[in-house]
Amino acid sequence: MKKLLQTNSTATKNDHKVEVDTDNSPLSTDDLPTLVLTSFQNKLYDYNISLGGPLRNQELRLDIANGLMWVPGAPYFKPCSGDSDEDEQSSSTSTSTSSESRSSSSSSSSSVSSTNSLVENSTVACADLGTFNISNSSSGFFYSLDTGDVSEASEASPLATLFSDYIYLSGYWARDNVSVPMSNYSMSSSQSSKAVDQLMRRTNDDDNDDDNSAGLFSLSSKSDYNVSLGNTLFIYANASDVGTGGLGVGLGTEDSLDSNFLNNFVRAGVINSNSYSLSLNPSNETYAELILGGISTDKYNGELCNFPFIPVKDESGSMITSNGGISNSLPVVPISGFGVTSNTNGNSLLFSSTYDDQVNQNSYPKPALLDSRTYYNYVPFSTLIEIAVELNAYYAESFGAWLVDCSAGLSGTLDVYMGNTSINMNISNLLYPAHDDNETSLFFSNGDQACFLALLPDYLVGYSILGTPFLRHAYLAVDNDGKQLALGKAVVKGKSQNNDTGYSGTNTADKKSLYPISSGTIPFAKANNITDYSDLTLTIPASINITNNLSVTSEVVISDGEVIVTGINQKTRTYVSTPVSSTSANVSGYSGTSKNGLPGCSKHFPFVASLMTLLIALL
3-state secondary structure 265-281: HHHCCCCCCCEEEEECC
Confidence at residue 109, expressed as pLDDT on a 0 to 100 scale: 31
Distance of CA 45 to the CA centre of its chain: 9
- Residue 128 neighbours by CB distance under 10 Å: 19
- Whether 383 shows a pLDDT value over 60: the answer reads yes
Average pLDDT score over residue span 278-299: 89
Q: Where are the beta strands (DSSP E) in 458-534?
A: 464-466, 474-479, 484-490, 514-516, 525-527
- The dihedral through the CA atoms of 473, 474, 480, 483 has a sign that is negative
- The C-alpha angle 227, 474, 513, rounded to 5 degrees, equals 55
Tell me the C-alpha to C-alpha distance, in Å, between residue 255 and each of 43, 70, 112, 207, 326.
Answer: 27, 17, 18, 29, 10
Highest mean pLDDT among 200-214, 244-258, 491-505: 244-258
114-128, 196-210, 214-228: range with lowest mean pLDDT: 196-210
Residue type, 247: L
- The dihedral through the CA atoms of 565, 567, 569, 574 has a sign that is negative
Residue type, 318: S
Which residues are bridge partners to 514 per DSSP? 296
Average pLDDT score over residue span 34-55: 93
What's the whole-number average pLDDT of the chain? Answer: 76
Average pLDDT score over residue span 40-63: 95
- Whether 241 shows a pLDDT value over 70: the answer reads yes
Confidence at residue 393, expressed as pLDDT on a 0 to 100 scale: 94
Percentage above 70 pLDDT, the chain: 66
pLDDT: is 162 or 188 the higher one?
Answer: 162
Confidence at residue 40, expressed as pLDDT on a 0 to 100 scale: 87
**Closest Cα partner for 36 from 230, 224, 245?**
224
The structure's pTM equals 0.79
Average pLDDT score over residue span 3-10: 48
Average pLDDT score over residue span 38-42: 89
Q: What are phi and psi of 468, to 5 degrees?
A: -65, -25
- The C-alpha angle 454, 456, 457, rounded to 5 degrees, equals 160
Confidence at residue 563, expressed as pLDDT on a 0 to 100 scale: 61
Confidence at residue 104, expressed as pLDDT on a 0 to 100 scale: 31
Task: Please report the domains of the chain, with CATH numbers, ordered by start residue.
Answer: 4-16+298-543 (2.40.70.10)
Task: Fill in the DSSP letter of residue 582.
Answer: S
pLDDT: is 219 or 406 the higher one?
Answer: 406
- The dihedral through the CA atoms of 342, 346, 351, 357 has a sign that is positive
- Relative to beta strand 195-197, strand 474-479 is unpaired
Average pLDDT score over residue span 411-437: 94
- Whether 457 shows a pLDDT value over 60: the answer reads yes
Q: What are phi and psi of 501, to 5 degrees?
A: -85, -20
Percentage above 90 pLDDT, the chain: 53
Q: Are 309 and 330 in contact (CB under 8 A)?
A: yes
- The dihedral through the CA atoms of 82, 142, 115, 90 has a sign that is positive
Confidence at residue 492, expressed as pLDDT on a 0 to 100 scale: 78
- Relative to beta strand 275-279, strand 44-51 is unpaired
Q: Are 326 and 410 in contact (CB under 8 A)?
A: no
Confidence at residue 375, expressed as pLDDT on a 0 to 100 scale: 96
Q: Strand, helix or coil at 591?
A: coil
- Residue 215 neighbours by CB distance under 10 Å: 14
